[in-house]
A and B are shown apart, each in its own frame.
Chain A
Amino acid sequence: MSEPARGGIAGGLPAGPWQMLWRRMKRNRLALAAFGVVVLIAVLALGAEVVAPYGYQDQFRGGEQQAPNSTKLTRRPGDEAPAERYFLLGTDANARDVFSRIVYGARVSLAVGLLATLVSLAIGLVVGLLSGFYGGWIDACLMRFTDTVFAFPSVLLAVAITATVDKPSLEVVFLALGLVGWTGIARVVRSQVLTIKTQDFVVASRALGARGFHVLVRQIMPNCWGPVIVVTTLAIGGNILGEAGLSFLGLGVQEPYPSWGGMLADAQERYKDAWWLGVFPGLMIVVTVLAFNLFGDGLRDALDPRHTRK
């Protein structure tokens, strides 16, 4: 028996779900541009050693709090003689290059954004699948638990989790954000399961004698990805904002390693005289979060034509 053609569209071309997604995505230029920005920031993060002109903790004596686009005769510890150096985005009060620190900071934002979202996805998937599939008291308990976590102001819960350890680190930050941010994903998964479980192919496979767990994992889970991918992509932006917030409160990655939120926290005392310290790291947060959000919106439009803007 030959394999039946999958969802062919105009022209009789058989198209898999990924091809259909790509066809719709490539018409959305804004979402593509956003994806480009995401890739660009990923390149900055991965290639920080190559992109950044200096190290993130190099201090240039004589070059404290230099304005952006300036050149100054400075001396780095270990230098034989002072040298002329160019600072694209200026230097901070410790005479470190702001541009280099922003480039290295991309690592923290992206790593926490992605890892925290993975943690949330894992929890949300398990809670949502169990809740939607088994219903009854399991559903009631899990959903009350979800409501409880949702009713917490997320930053405070994350702060309280990071406060249980003596010294915050990258692992603690992404675990805390992941443990806080799964409620939206769980709700979307649950509603997907509720719709799918009444559909004919699920009923048929049950009639054929498939056990509950098999139906859940092999029949229902593969069919609920669309909306889940969308909320997950949008959650990345939220987690990057969350990481910036925690770092701003001093609970993120610790000095001297840079993070954008931490750089803004450092700037709090000084940005009144040195605006560049307060402006550029924040601008990077906005650009990154915006890119993830616009890409997520594009995915939503492509996966769910009902949401397409008229």
Chain B
Amino acid sequence: MASFVLRRLLQALPVFAGILLICFLLFKLSGDPTRLLAGERAPEYVRESIRHKFHLDEPWYRQLGFFASGMVNGELRSYRHDRPVVEMILEGAAVTLRLALGAIVIAVAFGLLAGLLSAYRPHSWIDYLSAAGSSVGVSVPAFWLAMLLTLLFSVHLGWLPIGGYRPGHLEYLVIPVATLGLISMALIARLSRNCLMEAMTQDYVRTARAKGLGGFQALVGHAFPNALVPVVTVIGTNLAGLMTGAVLTETTCSLPGLGRIIFQAISERDHPVILGGCLFFAFVFVFVNLCVDILYGLLDPRIRHHE
């Protein structure tokens, strides 16, 4: 197991290097950074001193080296806020992780429940309702759903605050978590229904029924554990989508999460923060997919990770 984990992390290294390169390329393509940092009409000596301060007067491979080593030892600083990038990212990640975890818990719990009920009674009203809900759910822009929920619960009913964030006050997280949760729930409900329906046609389920097991017991006891494998994969691969949704949801709900920090950094051309944020997202992505692969082994003993 340890060697499997190690090998997967080594395989992820090219991905991190690739992200570093893509971010650096976009940095070089986006023009003179001193134009935004010092203003359009700043005199040349001011620009020079800024370039010198951030090592921008050195050849490109040295600059790339500064980015890479600064990321590794945590000394890379923001161009704008005079703070270490790591600090800013961890601050934002604390908010975004709360948001993403809450959304995943809601999505998995209700998504699996909807999938189970639809597979238990195919072509019933609950199946059709769940199918319609998931089709609409994957077609809704996250930011619009957040707007509608705000309109209903904050403006009309007055139950929840309109946007913003205060640490320790969960009521600010309700609308963003519900938004992301509902959207991911749609995917999970649809997928788990299809996987369960397929599992129900398998021989082992027929055997279980022949032994005298009721339909519901066969579904939960025999089909469900087997249908979980693809569902777990989707949760892993859609994490990137969830993070993307988080960018838009955080912007709509003015939540100071990582997505909004990176978005702001992009519009301010604060490249160290963009780089750090993207690497952090990629790290989470690789880590979650590693967990998914380990979970596979636990859910399906046929899949073994050999040398």
Contacts and interface: CB of A to CB of B under 8 A. Distances in A.
Contact of B266 (A154, A159, A241): A159
9 contacts: A147-B15, A151-B15, A153-B281, A154-B244, A156-B266, A159-B266, A248-B141, A282-B140, A289-B140
Interface stretch (B16-24, B42-50, B208-216): B16-24
Contacts of A144: 14-15, 18
Q: Which of B19, B147, B194, B259 has the most CB of A within 10 A?
A: B147
Interface in B134-188: 135-136, 138-144, 147-148, 151, 155, 162
A257 B1 CA distance: 56
A290 B267 CA distance: 31
B10 interface: no
B187 to A, nearest CB: 12
Main secondary structure of the interface of B (DSSP, over half): helix
Interface residues of A, number: 43
Contacts, number: 132
B140 A286 contact: yes
Interface residues of B, number: 49
Given A166-B31, A264-B144, 13 more contacts: A148-B18, A152-B240, A152-B278, A156-B263, A159-B263, A160-B23, A164-B31, A248-B141, A268-B252, A272-B155, A272-B162, A282-B144, A290-B136
Given A153-B240, A160-B23, A290 B135 contact: yes
A261 B263 contact: no
Nearest to A265: B143
B251 interface: yes
Interface of B: 14-15, 18-19, 22-23, 26, 29-31, 122, 135-136, 138-144, 147-148, 151, 155, 162, 194, 197, 201, 240-241, 243-244, 247-248, 251-252, 259, 262-263, 266-267, 269, 274, 277-278, 281-282, 285-286
Which 8 A-B residue pairs are closest in the complex by CB-CB distance? A148-B18, A282-B144, A289-B139, A290-B139, A164-B30, A164-B29, A153-B244, A153-B243
A293 B138 contact: yes
Interface in A237-251: 237, 241, 244-245, 248-249
Contact of B263 (A249, A268, A272, A310): A249
A278 B278 contact: no
Interface string A134-164: 0000000000110111111111110111011
B139 A245 contact: no
A43 interface: no
Q: Which of B29, B155, B241, B248 has the most CB of A within 10 A?
A: B248
